[in-house]
Chain A
Amino acid sequence: MSLPIERRRNTAYRHDGLWTAALIHRVSGILLACFLPLHFLALGLAIEGEAALGGFLRWTESTGVKFAEMGLVFLLTVHMLGGIRLMLIENLPWRPGQKRAAMTAIVIALVIAALFVVRII
């Protein structure tokens, strides 16, 4: 059952490329915040000695995990570039070509992630 027209939210902005860029920045940030405790716990295995950390790192040699690591490199890079873009918008006069800048940031992050996975596979 659809909502009456006066209660419908206008979601037309979701078709805008810059809204997608903001969404990618936010979702990548949430995923990084979820990953960080696991990252720290894994490195913390070194407290138990080199063997404990080494045992975990052997698990990371599987292809599936390597692709997951590629995803993490993408998340970190795209979040950083998206953040730089955001701070430039906030601190400098508005410039045209924002969609192109956002797309460039995403493409650079994809290229870095792809280079990473090509090197480790």
Chain B
Amino acid sequence: MTELRLYILQRVTAFLMIPLILAHVFVIFYATSNGLKAGDILARTQGSVGWALFYGLFVLLAAIHGAIGVRTVLREWADLSRTTASIASGALAALLFALGMRAVIAVVMPGGAL
């Protein structure tokens, strides 16, 4: 992917995440107001298509945004070549997406288990 496309993708993912982050911070405040309980979290998320879509989209955007950001840092601060930085950031994107989707499945699947 060209540098320009990565640059645009970084901004698009950032823009799309603004409302998601605001909602996430609001949920963090709400969820921790009476102590963070697993039962409370799962009661809100399990079986909810809305939360599955919300967190699924959030994970996808964060994986792309985080990986492109780390790629820029690796290029500028670690002085890695374009290829090496791209491979490392691609691996990070895959890791974040896989772990993130696993977490989404864990909290939204009815019963919690696969």
Chain B residues closer than 8 Å to A26, beta-carbon distance: 73
Chain A residues closer than 8 Å to B15, beta-carbon distance: 87
- Counting contact residues on chain B (CB < 8 A from A), the size range is 35 or more
Least CB distance, B35 to chain A, in whole angstroms: 7
Name the interface residues of B18-46: CB closer than 8 Å to any CB of A: 18, 21-22, 24-25, 28-29, 32-33, 35-39, 41-42
Give Cα A40 to B104, complex, Å.
8
Show 29 A/B contacts (Cβ-Cβ < 8 Å), sorted by A: A29-B70, A30-B69, A30-B70, A33-B96, A36-B66, A39-B103, A40-B99, A40-B103, A41-B103, A44-B102, A44-B103, A47-B112, A47-B114, A49-B112, A51-B38, A53-B42, A54-B37, A57-B36, A73-B28, A80-B17, A80-B18, A84-B18, A87-B11, A87-B15, A112-B25, A116-B28, A116-B32, A119-B33, A120-B35
Chain B residues closer than 8 Å to A54, beta-carbon distance: 37-39
- Counting contact residues on chain A (CB < 8 A from B), the size range is 35 or more
Give Cα A44 to B35, complex, Å.
20
When A26-B73, A30-B70 are in contact, do A53 and B41 touch as well, CB less than 8 Å?
yes
Please, what's the 1-or-0 string for A108-121, where 1 marks a CB less than 8 Å from any CB in chain B? 00001001100110
Chain A residues closer than 8 Å to B114, beta-carbon distance: 47
Taking a contact as CB atoms under 8 Å apart, the answer to whether A37 and B38 are in contact is no
Name the interface residues of A39-85: CB closer than 8 Å to any CB of B: 39-51, 53-54, 57, 60-61, 69, 73, 76-77, 80, 83-84
Please tell me which one of the listed residues A39, A43, A50, A80 contacts residue B21 in the complex, with CB atoms under 8 A apart.
A80
Taking a contact as CB atoms under 8 Å apart, the answer to whether A73 and B25 are in contact is yes
Taking a contact as CB atoms under 8 Å apart, the answer to whether A48 and B113 are in contact is yes
Interface residue B80 (Cβ < 8 Å from any Cβ of A): no
Least CB distance, B7 to chain A, in whole angstroms: 10
Please, what's the 1-or-0 string for B84-103, where 1 marks a CB less than 8 Å from any CB in chain A? 00000000100110011011
Give Cα A41 to B33, complex, Å.
23
When A30-B73, A53-B41, A80-B21 are in contact, do A37 and B36 touch as well, CB less than 8 Å?
no
Please tell me which one of the listed residues A36, A45, A87 contacts residue B14 in the complex, with CB atoms under 8 A apart.
A87
Interface residue A32 (Cβ < 8 Å from any Cβ of B): yes
Give Cα A90 to B39, complex, Å.
44
